[in-house]
Amino acid sequence: MEPAIQSCILRINQLLIPDEILPYNVETKLDHFSQAIIKSDSERTRADQLTAEERKFIERLLTRYCKEHELGYIQGMNEVIGPFVYMMRDGIPIHKVYSCFENFVGVCLPYLFIDKSLRPVQGLFLIFKLLLRYHEPVICNFLQSKCITPELFATSWFLTGFAGKIKNLEVLYKIWEESIIEADPLFFCFIGIAFLKKFKNFIMSAEDERLASSISRMFDSEIIDPGEIIDSARKMKKNMPNSMHSKLASYELYDLETINSTIQNLKKECTLSILSREAMQRCYPDVNFCGCTHRACSWCTASENDVLVMILDCRTEYEQKAGVYPNTALLDPNAYKDHNILMQIPDMLEGIKGVYHICLLGSKCFRTSNFDLSGSYDTNNQDAVQNMLENLLQILFAKDFPYVSVVEGGFERCHEIALYNDLLITNHSHDYCLVCSPNGPKYTSIVKNKLSNLKRSMVGRVRALSLNLKGIGKSISLLEPSKKTERENIPLVVSANTKYFLCKQYDKSTGEKSQDNFSLVVSDSDIYLGLAPSSDPKKIVELIGCFKIENLLKMSSPRNIENNITLHFSNLDKPLSLLMTSKSQMQSCVEFISKKYHNLKPSLNN
């Protein structure tokens, strides 16, 4: 055995089994209900590298694994365990081989064997496509134009951790070693993109009918440098705004109860997004949003990386005049009028292409279900800003721009964070701001008519950028710098009596509800609102606001909307209106808040 392979085997064992384990018996009866398939697959596993005796070990260990974990056998398991059985040649005992395999699956392939229909892998394909579009749009657009989907070439990548494709064990072991260190099941997505990037010219020169097979053949190359692939994958992963990782991690690929809805949500996504909290961190770099003492927490450390982000405010002129965030780039007032200028935007941004991450800021949540990248639209959509974002995404993707995303929740959610943290919004006018006063009395009939015309017009698509991109620095400061506030941030304080209610934000004036899920957290003295992308209200990825129960003036629920609850606080100009999942949940929420309020009354009266 080559010394390089021996070193890899030693390191993998140390990573997967850091503490010494006592020997145990791995023997089991070969009587699994899928035994015939297990035997057949075991006999053909790495036939040119493993002996017949070693392949019998594969059958024995796979049978034990399936029986012990009460699983049906899934083809691909044999490819994963094969390289571990090979380690026995280096003196690794069989019980350690089994433990290494078991722990490797738990760390790097937790989605692999839990569902016979491979729904978690379907979700992984969708995440892979989003990441490929974000980092390598040239390859993504090329494959899409040839109707080549990840299912046609990447299935064995994610099912076997590349073991089904990479025959060179030294290369495979090194990739596995670094993947174990990463401890991120999505890291194989970055590894896959790194391979496509490495062999881009080879793939794009292939004949159409042989394209999928050409992608498979790239693993036969003798010039694969695993260090180069790993470095490329890590660089891509690092070169992303921090909250993108939080958003991707929030997709519950391993929860079979919610996997169907997760897949449906991923199918609607056309681009990655950053959380509004990170957008505000970029706009107000001097503000401590999390409340930690020395900006040394994991969030602050990750958010202060070297990723260059340009937040492009894509709202209408009327909205921008009522307030903008510092350190953002603004669209020209003529952006909604001239189609020719729209086509010039890629040329205007050419100087920062591939350097800056271009993050589009709309008015509200970007409704991804309204459009896809093939050019189809919801013709009934009359939202000018929504149309603008759609067109910008279309044209930037068509021109192979990497690093294009949207701000989740748009200006509206950022506005909530700004008010909660007492931040200065430049030129902010409460009377004209559509978030503060959606039906504000200060709007004249002329302005209202103009806004209405914009929403009805198909010219409601972005046309121009007001940017001078020459000599652009690390931050794009187009407005007055932010004023640092001295406000102390309130942490999420919960107890055993805390209750969580899944909900959506609701706009009474328009009848629209938020696309995202939120969690209303009711503790002994506070009510919190947090972003909860999954269906579990306890899994909060971003805290939007905290409201003192003692400041609660009243709760209301209209009869015509049975699951709506509106909370009125003395220190908020605008009430908090929410849609619960059901009428019974709404009633439970009202009763629980009422109980907490009455429990506080004695102390308030004192």
Residues pairing with 527 in the sheet: 522, 547
**For residue 535, how far is the Cα from the chain centroid?**
15
On whether the CB atoms of residues 505 and 467 are closer than 8 A, the answer is: no
End-to-end CA distance of the chain: 79
CA–CA separation, 152 vs 129, rounded Å? 13
Cα angle 515, 508, 277 (rounded to 5 degrees) comes to 45
Section 74-93 average pLDDT: 95
Let me know if 296 is exposed, middle or buried by CB neighbors in 10 A (0-12, 13-18, 19+).
Answer: exposed
- pLDDT the model gives residue 8: 93
Strands 329-330 and 309-313: parallel
- The better pLDDT of the pair 443, 48 is held by 48
pLDDT at 540 over 90: no
Q: pLDDT tens digits, residue range 488-505? A: 344 566 677 889 999 999
Residue located via tokens 């959380």: 275
By C-alpha distance, which of 251, 303, 253 is closest to 276?
303
The DSSP secondary structure of 537-603, one letter per residue, reads TT--SEEEEEEEGGGEEEEE--TTSTTEEEEEETT-SS-EEEEESSHHHHHHHHHHHHHHHHHHHHH
Least confident of 34-38, 158-162, 497-501: 497-501
Section 585-604 average pLDDT: 83
CA–CA separation, 9 vs 600, rounded Å? 61
pLDDT at 482 over 50: no
Confidence of residue 143 (pLDDT cuts 50, 70, 90): very high
By C-alpha distance, which of 461, 467, 468 is closest to 340?
461
Which H or E run contains 304? none
Domains of the chain and CATH, by start: 3-108 (1.10.8), 119-268 (1.10.472.80), 273-456 (3.40.250.10), 499-605 (2.30.29.30)
Confidence of residue 299 (pLDDT cuts 50, 70, 90): low
Q: To the nearest 10°, report the CA torsion of 173, 178, 181, 186.
A: -110
CA–CA separation, 570 vs 548, rounded Å? 10
Strands 576-580 and 499-507: antiparallel
Residue located via tokens 């209900």: 33
CA distances (Å), origin 70, targets 39, 75, 115, 546: 18, 16, 12, 45
On whether the CB atoms of residues 83 and 114 are closer than 8 A, the answer is: no
Q: What are phi and psi of 420, to 5 degrees?
A: -60, -35
pLDDT at 305 over 50: yes
CA–CA separation, 257 vs 234, rounded Å? 32
Residue 479: CB atoms within 10 A of its CB come to 18
Write down the pTM of the prediction: 0.75
On whether the CB atoms of residues 521 and 498 are closer than 8 A, the answer is: yes
On whether the CB atoms of residues 433 and 330 are closer than 8 A, the answer is: no
- pLDDT the model gives residue 440: 56
Sign for the pseudo-dihedral over CA of 334, 335, 337, 341: positive
- pLDDT the model gives residue 149: 93
Confidence of residue 79 (pLDDT cuts 50, 70, 90): very high
Buried b or exposed e, range 338-369, using 16+ CB within 10 angstroms: eeebbeebeeebeebeeebbbbbbbbbbbbbe
Let me know if 255 is exposed, middle or buried by CB neighbors in 10 A (0-12, 13-18, 19+).
Answer: middle
Q: If you ran DSSP here, which 8-state letter would residue 329 be given?
A: E
Residue located via tokens 């053949």: 217
Least confident of 14-18, 249-253, 597-601: 597-601
- The better pLDDT of the pair 181, 470 is held by 181
On whether the CB atoms of residues 324 and 478 are closer than 8 A, the answer is: no
Section 592-605 average pLDDT: 76
Record the tokens describing residue 29, joined without a space: 């009866």
Q: pLDDT tens digits, residue range 358-394? A: 999 999 999 875 455 544 444 444 588 998 899 899 9
- pLDDT the model gives residue 480: 31
CA–CA separation, 183 vs 168, rounded Å? 23
User: HSE on the CB side for 92, CA within 13 Å?
Assistant: 27
CA distances (Å), origin 576, targets 433, 540, 579, 595: 17, 18, 10, 19
Confidence of residue 210 (pLDDT cuts 50, 70, 90): confident
**One-letter amino acid for residue 192 of the chain:** G
- The better pLDDT of the pair 545, 7 is held by 7
Confidence of residue 461 (pLDDT cuts 50, 70, 90): very low
CA–CA separation, 520 vs 502, rounded Å? 6
Sign for the pseudo-dihedral over CA of 154, 159, 162, 168: negative
Least confident of 81-95, 143-157, 278-292: 278-292
Which H or E run contains 310? strand 309-313
Section 84-112 average pLDDT: 93
CA–CA separation, 508 vs 523, rounded Å? 26
The DSSP secondary structure of 478-538, one letter per residue, reads -SPPPPPP-PPPPP----TT-EEEEEEEEETTTTEE-SS-EEEEE-SSEEEEEE--SS-TT
Q: pLDDT tens digits, residue range 227-245? A: 999 999 999 999 999 889 9
